[in-house]
Amino acid sequence: MDAQYNPPADAFDPYVPTAAEPWNVRRAGHLLRRAGFGASHQRLTDTLAMSPKQAITRLFDFDPAIDPLNDILDQLQGFLSFKEIKPVQEWCFYRMLNNQHPLQEKMTLFWHNRFATSAGKVDYPLMMHNQMELFRQKGLGSFRDLLVSVGRDPAMLVWLDGQYNHKGKPNENYGREVMELFTLGINSYTEADVKELARAFTGWAIGGPKSYFNKQNFDDGKKTIFGETGPFDSESSVDLLLRHPKAAGHLAHRLLKEFVNPHPPENVVDHYARRLVDTKWDLKIVLTEIFSSKLFFSDWAYRSRIKSPIELTVGAVTALGGKVNTAFLREQSTKMGQAMLMPPNVKGWDGGETWINANTVLLRFNFGEGMATQRLGEFAKKSEMETWLLKHNLKTSADIVDHYARLFLDGEIDADVRKTLIAYMNHGTKNEPKPFVLEKDALNDKVRGLLHLLMAVPEYQLA
């Protein structure tokens, strides 16, 4: 996590495998964690069978307008209700686990934390669901289009009091936060800019779970924002924001912090800021370039982020398989400090080192134990581990250690640690020598114990 990192001149060039830097489990696992929630056996196998370029292209190869999971949701109307927030939260977990395009859900979570809106104030769960759908639909398109839509999103109007922002009685909450948190950063605007921008966002109202424009409440007078004067509205003011010299760098920093390293140096931020402007704020193009770069696959980027509780819980299920109880994931991530759809404030979750303290480390270890043992209702349908291991001809202690070390740690395991884990597998519950044989008792005592150990190592806490 070196904040003083100085990337080489070719860091922005596409990564091409070489003998010294091969396309291997380490790099494929890194890509699947950053552009999703981690590797399943099948996803990792499929990714390694492709070239890096093919694997990255596949991540973006979907049309958000075609969504089989929403077809399922339509069929569940009357059975699954979004009148309460818990089903909405659990649907988010279900999608993260079952969407065949994990980058869509990763971007949805990213925007949820950037445009942090909480069900604690938005007491209309369907609005929260619809906002997440907005992020799914537009999260990899034009940032301009996304920003325009967020400014009139019903949940955001409630969250930052936009429905009370009327001609003659402007409410400054959204005008302030859209600059400070969403587009520019602190010290990038004046109080006069806040007041004038608030006037530009007047006129939006809420009817049920939807918003609409009430022309009578819109201030159509001239406003002066960043030194420019005109009858700006909620769309033309977005163009003003994006023309600001701080805008591109602010978004580039956020993207790099999330997907590459928490401490992107200025020259790296500047490079991708220029790319955002050059591509007219096309998120798909810029993120494709980031994921394709030597910078992304560098040692500096690898395991440089601490997993959020949601990343940790969803990643564990992805690796283990089975039909998880989404209520369990909701409860566990909340205990660890990240309640889905309930960020602590308008800044979102601070993330990084704030995820780790004496209490949350223990909770992470306990979660790993629960996932490994599957004894406490963690799974709606337990993963059939023994059948799965036999199907893939994983019978010896070494086979099983290597297999799960590959899934959980990209196979990046010290030789002495590997020997210790294999020795653990070949001893009984009283530490007596007992050659490992894949049968029920050994599965419960040793394989599940191994999983718990792997999920407790420090490297596993890193994305």
User: What integer pLDDT is reported at residue 1 of this predicted model?
Assistant: 45
Q: Report the C-alpha gap between 32 and 53 in whole angstroms.
A: 14
- Please identify every stretch of the chain with a pLDDT value under 70, giving residue numbers as ranges: 1-3
- Tell me, rounded to whole angstroms, the distance of Cα 105 from its chain centroid: 7
Can you give the chain as a three-state secondary structure string? CCCCCCCCCCCCCECCCCCCCCCCHHHHHHHHHHCCCCCCHHHHHHHHCCCHHHHHHHHHCCCCCCCHHHHHHHHCECCECCCCHHHHHHHHHHHHHHCCCHHHHHHHHHHHHHCCCCCCCCCCHHHHHHHHHHHHHHCCCEHHHHHHHHHCCHHHHHHCCHHHCECCECCCHHHHHHHHHHHCCCCCCCHHHHHHHHHHCCCEEEECCEEEECHHHCCCCCEEECCEEECCCCCHHHHHHHHCCCHHHHHHHHHHHHHCCCCCCHHHHHHHHHHHHHCCCEHHHHHHHHHHECCCCCCCCCCCCECCHHHHHHHHHHHHCCEECHHHHHHHHHHCCCCCCCCCCCCCCCCHHHHCCHHHHHHHHHHHHHHHHCCCCCEEECCCHHHHHHHCCCCCHHHHHHHHHHHHHCCCCCHHHHHHHHHHHCECCCCCECCCCCCHHHHHHHHHHHHHHHHHCHHHHEC
User: What integer pLDDT is reported at residue 3 of this predicted model?
Assistant: 55
User: What integer pLDDT is reported at residue 279 of this predicted model?
Assistant: 98
